[in-house]
Amino acid sequence: MSSHHLIAVIAAVAATLVSAGGARAQISDDAVKIGVLTDLSGPASDATGQGSVTAAEMAVEDFGSTVAGKPIKVISANHQLKADVGAAIARQWYDDEQVDLIVDVPVSAVGLAVQEVAREKQKLFITESTGTDLFTGKNCSPYGMQWAFDTHALATGTAKAVTERGGKSWFFLTADYAFGHTLEADASRVAQANGARVVGSVRFPFNSPDLTSFVLQAQASKAQIIGIAAGPPDNTNAIKIGGEFGLLQGGQQMAGLLILVTDVHALGLKTAQGLLLTTSFYWDMDDMTRVWSKRFFDRLHKMPTMWQAGTYSAVTHYLAAIKATGTDEPLKVAAKMREMPIEDFFARHGRLREDGLMVHDLYLVEVKKPEESKQPWDYYRVLQTIPGDQAFPRLEDEDCPIIKKP
């Protein structure tokens, strides 16, 4: 072998060893740090809040509390449903606290603000409780992921099913922010595509103290279906008021475009019975969901929402990608997360797309009558599985600038 060849071989071996050594120890700051940024005191706290923190902690414990030989830490903070507060916490976490991943972040305004900070800082963010399709549409980011649902999926599932069951005229009660607007727009489009008419809508401020005048407008519209394009607490308040004013007795039905199991629990089956809704998770669906949910229940004395279960799933998949790559470098981890299929108690037939949307099966459910419920939290009858490719928007239809389109 010539001296030139020998030098080349030695250089190649040295490069391989450096690369292998780097792969073993490419964990920044010698720890993987996950921040659960959530609502710990406001109207979304029951559906996210401490339950999301607990879900993330369970995921870390089940993973063994270390990855790639380094400890995993979970911290949390309350963003108070304020976009400026959420963005400031995210900035401080990424800059000063060495947080590698932020999760949860309920309500769209805060989620979109944190998405921009994550993009600027080139750090990862996975939302489970921000539903606006702007997140993976025009505001998409290589660092942002939407894990549990989006407005398109929930509205498509519910509006299509209700219209097929005879709901031929709709009126929308809509929360006046990005989430409510996109929920109404998606449901309107699907209802009209399936032969229904939209006779009107009214918008109200998020977390309104009194929705009476808005519900009365919906009642006066004579629409068969009152679509509630809002999340907690406005959705449950509208359903309660609708019950008080006898909408059901008058021949109108309410369809919740976003209803969580905690909402049904707060309403009670007497008020919520008959509601049709779409969800990405139900605790009592099968043995896998029951086993995990009962562990969660033992800690918090309530069953998990799809947002809380989604937090566990997202954190677990993130950690698995770090284990597989040997690094917490954001874009390498994100690429591995897209490469690996997602199949767990939360997500069936799941896959993470390049626009950041995690596509998976959803479920159309009906809220049981009080006499049909056999135990506490036995609230839903699963009517059908909606395959992810039918529920979520097609990649080619997304207005996402980072997608490579043919």
- pLDDT tens digit sequence for 53-64: 999 999 999 999
pLDDT of amino acid 406: 60
Pairing label, strands 253-256, 358-359: unpaired
Pairing label, strands 101-104, 362-367: unpaired
Judged by phi (left if over 0) then psi (alpha if -120 to 50, else beta), residue 370 lies in: alpha
- Summarised one tens digit per residue, pLDDT across range 138-161 is 999 999 999 999 989 998 889 988
The residues, any chain, with a CB within 8 Å of residue 130's CB and separated by 6 or more, are 105, 106, 107, 108, 110, 111, 112, 146, 179
User: Is the separation of the CB atoms in 77 and 37 below 8 Å?
Assistant: yes
CA distance 241 to 134: 31
**For residue 197, which of 225, 176, 161 has the smallest C-alpha distance?**
225
Judged by phi (left if over 0) then psi (alpha if -120 to 50, else beta), residue 326 lies in: left
pLDDT of amino acid 11: 43
**For residue 187, which of 200, 172, 165, 203 has the smallest C-alpha distance?**
172
Q: If DSSP codes are grouped into helix, strand and coil, which group holds residue 54?
A: helix
pTM: 0.90
What architecture (CATH level 2) is domain 29-149+285-355?
Answer: 3-Layer(aba) Sandwich (3.40)
For residue 287, the one-letter residue type is D
Residue ranges in the chain modelled with pLDDT below 70:
1-25, 405-406
Q: If DSSP codes are grouped into helix, strand and coil, which group holds residue 16?
A: helix
Q: If DSSP codes are grouped into helix, strand and coil, which group holds residue 59?
A: helix
pLDDT of amino acid 54: 98
The residues, any chain, with a CB within 8 Å of residue 320's CB and separated by 6 or more, are 63, 340
Are domains 29-149+285-355 and 157-279+362-386 of this chain identical in fold?
yes
- Summarised one tens digit per residue, pLDDT across range 172-211 is 999 998 888 989 999 999 999 999 999 999 999 988 889 9
φ/ψ of 281, rounded to 5, equals -160, 140
User: Is the separation of the CB atoms in 377 and 283 below 8 Å?
Assistant: yes
**For residue 157, which of 367, 349, 385, 364 has the smallest C-alpha distance?**
364
φ/ψ of 404, rounded to 5, equals -85, 110
Where does residue 99 rank: exposed (0-12), middle (13-18), buried (19+ CB within 10 A)? Answer: buried
CATH number assigned to the domain covering 157-279+362-386 = 3.40.50.2300
Q: Where are the domains of the chain?
A: 29-149+285-355, 157-279+362-386
* Percent of the chain predicted with pLDDT > 70: 93
